[in-house]
Amino acid sequence: MVALTLLPAGVTLQVTSGATILASAHAAGADIEATCGGRGRCTSCRVKFVSGIVPPPTIMDEVQLGDALVREGYRLSCQCRISDPITVQVSPPVDDQSFQILGGERPAGAPMPVTIDAGVSKRLVRVTLPTEEHHQTSDLEAVLTAVGRTPDDCSPEVLKNLPKALREHGGEVTVASFGRRILSVEPGDTHLLTFGLAIDVGTTSVVTTLMELASGEQLASVSSLNPQAVFGGDLMSRIAFAQFDPGKLRKLQTRIIGLLNQHIEQVCRDSGVLAKWIYKVVVVGNTCMHHVLLGIDPSYVGLAPYAPVMRHPLTLCARELFLKVNPEARVCLLPIVAGFVGADAVAVALATRIDESAEIRIAVDIGTNGEVLLGSREHLWACSAPAGPALEGAQIRHGMRAALGAIDRVTLEGGDLKLHTVGDASAQGICGSGLIDAIAVLLDAGVIDWTGLIDLDHLDRLPAPLRGRVIKAGDERAVILARPGESGATREIALTQDDVRQVQLCKGAIASGAAMLQKIAGVPDDKVAELMLAGGFGNYLSIPSALRIGLIPALPEPRIRYVGNAAVLGAQLALLSEAERGRATQIARNIEHVSLAAHPDFQDVFVDCMNFPRA
């Protein structure tokens, strides 16, 4: 065994010689983020050697970190094997504690556009308790008689607290039910206290909202980064981590259930609601997140033909998932469409009413595992458009999430770049919306050409301040966004040629998804009545910048609108209305899934979509 000390936590682990730093840390429960799943394809797991023998760099260290960081003692923890006692500094580039995640908030005073019928009912009854020893009845029979139910409608779990509940208020109890199923028998009058949760489990972020089931009022909301991200930033990385390994699958499942219980504790604390009064939970998410939450092996979702284990809607007890709400609460998972078009896409369709539209509309949920919906009440198509984690800051030289200090907007003023950061804090790096803005500005200025190349041949055409930001260091081309001291930056923040290529891959995935659905449906741009941008990231990006780089179809701006975190809104609809939950099942059945990779034209469309629109 060898001693491994991790800073800044100051934790010392005894690990097996020959194991990697990343695997050793994860095995001990210490988090080192590995966006690519530990395959040496990003820099998120990098560590800096503080003491001990610094091992020679691997080829992936050289490729991902570059010569300067390697010489400073940085290594990729997924590639670095331990043979001697060492101390390393885990190096997350920024503080991610103030990140922006779009929740499921509706505009103030906006009504929920459904008739509320959550399926949960509470009834106050007075039960006659036995007074003589020779009675031939039971506590349960007395309750069932009062509410018109049978023993089959009641779980044995409910019986555990039944004697005390019946006698605490002299036989006056409130019976909570979901359909015919009795969920709890509570002492006294609690019939006004009915609550539920709508949860969106995304690849990158998780959003939980607490709602009153009788009125539809949103009482509290909380959002967090998905803690599974330390094992892989995208779905394929996470599937690869857990593939055919029940122990690693359990680790992923435990992480997400632990976070959901933290969310439950927080929304209850913020609202004053007791967790035992939460009787219904609706969960949406992509296929992989859905399977992992249930503890279902997602291995074959990641292997052709990418078949999910199940697609139907599922309802189970909260205690089966160890969620800390009412143990008998119903947890409802919306149906799945295909391997990479999940219940979150169904929720987006539910929230946007795209399936009821007389005109052709497109909904684009932009995210690590993005999805595109196109259609009307006549027909609905869907495909996966996996942007990957680059727009969340991964695989970008100075990339970061939309946390405090992230450059989130870039403009050109007076011949030079002007930056805005999240929270107006000192610039720490650049997030996805800032990347898109920066590339759009540089395209307009002629710094980047339509193929994505940073152009060094026509610098004389640029204003002097901007010209001074375009550099070439060795074989690398870059644009300096901020020098030390500019916008409060303490180091140089640059946009490299490789960064531009990563954004091209991301935008190519999203744009080609929409383009292929339009091609298959025979719908040119002028026949699209509306483009709806959904998802946390989609609602922070600049529409003009997204159009300029070709991220979205080239529609007039008035025909493009933000629709918020539509997956969360769809989950809320299914929470508050059993009719809407039923409608989700019908939507999933009616969606035609399009496998882009299997289409003969996809490769050409994708390559074309990687290029930027010509000015």
Q: What is the pLDDT of residues 514-558, one digit of tens each?
A: 999 999 999 999 999 999 998 867 667 899 999 999 999 999 999
Span 472-500, mean pLDDT?
A: 93
pLDDT at residue 199 in the model:
97
The residue among 69 and 307 whose pLDDT is bigger is: 307
- Give the model's confidence band at 97: pLDDT under 50 very low, under 70 low, under 90 confident, else very high: very low
- Give the model's confidence band at 94: pLDDT under 50 very low, under 70 low, under 90 confident, else very high: very low
pLDDT at residue 112 in the model:
44
Q: What is the pLDDT of residues 555-580, one digit of tens each?
A: 999 999 888 788 998 999 999 999 99
C-alpha torsion 349→350→355→361, nearest 10 = -40
Please say whether the beta carbons of 255 and 228 come within 8 A.
yes
Provide the mean pLDDT of the chain. Answer: 89
pLDDT at residue 95 in the model:
43
Distance, C-alpha 277 to centroid of its chain = 27
Q: How many residues does the chain have?
A: 615
Q: What letter would DSSP give residue 101? A: -
pLDDT at residue 538 in the model:
66
> Nearest CA to 391 among 357, 430, 340, 425?
430
Question: Cα–Cα–Cα angle for 426, 428, 433, nearest 5°?
Answer: 100
Hey, is 478 helix, strand or coil? Answer: strand
Pairing of strands 476-482, 470-473: antiparallel
- Return d(Cα 233, Cα 540) in angstroms, integer: 20
pLDDT at residue 104 in the model:
56
Whether 275 shows a pLDDT value over 90: the answer reads yes
pLDDT at residue 98 in the model:
47
- Return d(Cα 470, Cα 453) in angstroms, integer: 12
Question: What tokens were used for 87?
Answer: 């101390």
- Give the model's confidence band at 109: pLDDT under 50 very low, under 70 low, under 90 confident, else very high: very low
Whether 302 shows a pLDDT value over 80: the answer reads yes
Q: What percent of the chain shows pLDDT beyond 70?
A: 96
- Give the model's confidence band at 124: pLDDT under 50 very low, under 70 low, under 90 confident, else very high: very high
Amino acid at 262: Q
- Give the model's confidence band at 132: pLDDT under 50 very low, under 70 low, under 90 confident, else very high: confident
For residue 600, whether the previous peptide bond is cis, meaning omega lies within 30 degrees of 0, is no
Hey, is 228 helix, strand or coil? Answer: helix
Q: What is the CA radius of gyration of the chain?
A: 27
Whether 96 shows a pLDDT value over 50: the answer reads no
- Return d(Cα 359, Cα 372) in angstroms, integer: 16
pLDDT at residue 320 in the model:
96
Amino acid at 185: V
Question: What tokens were used for 4?
Answer: 């491994």
- Return d(Cα 155, Cα 184) in angstroms, integer: 9
Q: What percent of the chain shows pLDDT beyond 90?
A: 65
- Give the model's confidence band at 111: pLDDT under 50 very low, under 70 low, under 90 confident, else very high: very low
Helix axes 343-352, 578-590, angle to 10 degrees: 110
Whether 107 shows a pLDDT value over 50: the answer reads no
Q: What is the pLDDT of residues 574-598, one digit of tens each?
A: 999 999 999 999 999 999 999 988 8
Whether 169 shows a pLDDT value over 70: the answer reads yes
The residue among 527 and 111 whose pLDDT is bigger is: 527
Write down all domains in the chain, each with its CATH number in brackets.
2-90 (3.10.20.30), 120-187 (3.10.20.880), 393-498 (no CATH)
pLDDT at residue 133 in the model:
76
Q: What is the pLDDT of residues 34-81, one digit of tens each?
A: 877 787 777 888 999 988 888 877 777 777 787 678 778 889 998 888
Whether 357 shows a pLDDT value over 80: the answer reads yes
pLDDT at residue 239 in the model:
92
pLDDT at residue 101 in the model:
53
pLDDT at residue 323 in the model:
98
pLDDT at residue 368 in the model:
79
pLDDT at residue 510 in the model:
93
- Give the model's confidence band at 230: pLDDT under 50 very low, under 70 low, under 90 confident, else very high: confident
DSSP string for residues in 234-302: SHHHHHHHHTT-HHHHHHHHHHHHHHHHHHHHHHHHHHT--GGGEEEEEEEE-HHHHHHHHT---GGGG
Whether 120 shows a pLDDT value over 60: the answer reads yes
Whether 387 shows a pLDDT value over 70: the answer reads yes
pLDDT at residue 374 in the model:
97
Span 131-139, mean pLDDT?
A: 79
Whether 99 shows a pLDDT value over 80: the answer reads no
Hey, is 64 helix, strand or coil? Answer: helix
The CA distances from residue 69 to 81, 280, 345, in Å, are 18, 51, 41
pLDDT at residue 100 in the model:
53
Q: Give the number of other CB atoms < 10 A from CB of residue 513.
A: 29
Please say whether the beta carbons of 228 and 205 come within 8 A.
no
Distance, C-alpha 534 to centroid of its chain = 12
The residue among 68 and 154 whose pLDDT is bigger is: 154
> Nearest CA to 514 among 550, 548, 543?
550
Question: Cα–Cα–Cα angle for 458, 464, 468, nearest 5°?
Answer: 80
Q: Give the number of other CB atoms < 10 A from CB of residue 152.
A: 9
